[in-house]
Amino acid sequence: MRVARFDRYLLSQLMTLFGFFALILVAIYWINSAVRLFDQLIADGQSAWVFLEYTALTLPNVMRITLPMAVFAGAVYVTNRLASESELVVMQATGFSPWRLARPVLSFGLITAAMMSVLTHLLVPMSHSEIVTRNKEISRNVTARMLTEGTFLHPAPGITFYIRDIDADGALHDVFLSDRRDSEEVQNYSAARAYLVNTAEDPEAEPEPKLVMVDGLAQTLDLQTRRLYTTHFEDFAYDVGALIDVSDEVKLGIRDLSTWRLLARTETAMAVTGRSEGWVVQEAHGRFTQALLCVVAALIGFSALQVGGFSRFGVWKQIVFAVSLLIVVKFVEGLVTDPVRKDADLWPLLYLPTLVGALLSVGLLAWAARAHRPRDRALPEAEATA
């Protein structure tokens, strides 16, 4: 009963601190991502609701990035606190070895690994796929991208668009359009009025939006000769469809596909994403290794603080040592990624970082168990007899 009670106590401490650090890290990363999204979406004329939708869809990926760091921070903080308050010393005095103390830490790592598995195999692919779909819908929504009053918009690279006022019947007043996509010349169009119309003959066909400008001026600047040509026009049609992709095709990336599709239908995934077999295999197995990294992070954070003796300066040396070991694991992960992407048959190398982290944890626990092992009493008794 005492053993189970200690396991529950330590596990509850780990989960509480893990939740705290996860909340802080997710908030920091999420706010940083939200600021970039705000600049991008609001500048393109999107509504606040679209911004909130996008920020919610980026949350699973943010959690995927921050979860291992929260696991490591929680394990280090709890172990340090228990050591400073002598709770670990008391448990070791009652016969608990470092191996036995690591059992609830291993359970903590497995629980967080399950959370990471749900993220990498389910939530992150679903959110990525939904973001791609929403990007496609927004790119086809000409009204949302271009019909915004009093704002300079950039619907495509090299394009600047401005409307002073929009009537209820759809008439645009004081329109300005700058096209700088050509490296040899710059074209500027200004018109007193303009209309955005669909020139497709078949209503069920893909839309062909045109910007019809009335009573305006076209200016062409030759960048080579630095000469400006001006042309007054009564009406002029500009192909807006060339700026916005209005097709129904949605191109998915490897992060948008399910793990089963990546492993069982590798060739189909290669055709859909345009990636090589190595990239597809690396993405699929990488989702498993990310979950295993949570277990490794928890064990390294705990075992590294078990080595070394008592110091009145604290255990900052052990904490730096633990961080260094985690960096070594991530370094090994970076080393094995490129070879697998080049040759899919080398996919077992992706599990090498997990193996290295597990071996480091086992070595540290063995070292700590040897340091905390009770001395042999036979030697003192023999000396007393002599």
Q: In this predicted model, what pLDDT tens digit does every residue of 309-334 receive, in sequence order?
A: 545 545 778 888 999 999 999 999 99
Confidence of residue 376 (pLDDT cuts 50, 70, 90): very low
User: What is the mean predicted confidence (pLDDT) over 285-290?
Assistant: 94
Question: CA 221 from chain center: how many Å?
Answer: 43
CB atoms within 10 A of CB 375: 7
CA separation for the pair 47, 44 (Å, rounded): 9
Using alpha carbons, list the distances in angstroms from residue 135 to 34, 41, 131. Answer: 16, 11, 6
Confidence of residue 349 (pLDDT cuts 50, 70, 90): very high
**What is the share, in percent, of the chain residues with pLDDT greater than 70?**
82
Token match 């169009």: residue?
189
The pLDDT of residue 360 is above 90: yes
Residues 185-209 have pLDDT tens digits of 999 999 999 988 776 655 555 556 7
The pLDDT of residue 372 is above 60: no
Confidence of residue 355 (pLDDT cuts 50, 70, 90): very high
pLDDT of residue 96: 79
Report yes or no: 326 and 384 within 8 Å, Cβ to Cβ: no
Confidence of residue 380 (pLDDT cuts 50, 70, 90): very low
DSSP 241: G
pLDDT of residue 166: 85
Percent helix, strand and coil across the chain, each to the nearest 5: 65, 15, 20
In terms of C-beta density within 10 A (0-12 exposed, 13-18 middle, 19 or more buried), how is residue 187 classed?
Answer: middle
CB atoms within 10 A of CB 254: 22
pLDDT of residue 204: 54
Residues in the chain: 386
User: What is the mean predicted confidence (pLDDT) over 294-315?
Assistant: 78
pLDDT of residue 38: 72
Reading the block at residue 119, the tokens are 């993220």
DSSP 205: S
pLDDT of residue 39: 66
Residues 223-255 have pLDDT tens digits of 888 899 999 998 888 887 666 655 555 577 888
Residues 57-93 have pLDDT tens digits of 888 999 999 999 999 999 999 988 888 877 777 777 7
Angle at 254 between CA 292 and CA 289, to 5 degrees: 10
pLDDT of residue 383: 44
The residue type of 296 is V
Token match 């690994």: residue?
113
| 1/35: higher pLDDT | 35
CA separation for the pair 186, 189 (Å, rounded): 10
Query: Could you give phi then psi for residue 213, rounded to 5 degrees?
Result: -100, 140
**What is the share, in percent, of the chain residues with pLDDT greater than 90?**
37
CB atoms within 10 A of CB 305: 24
pLDDT of residue 357: 93
Confidence of residue 156 (pLDDT cuts 50, 70, 90): confident
pLDDT of residue 381: 45
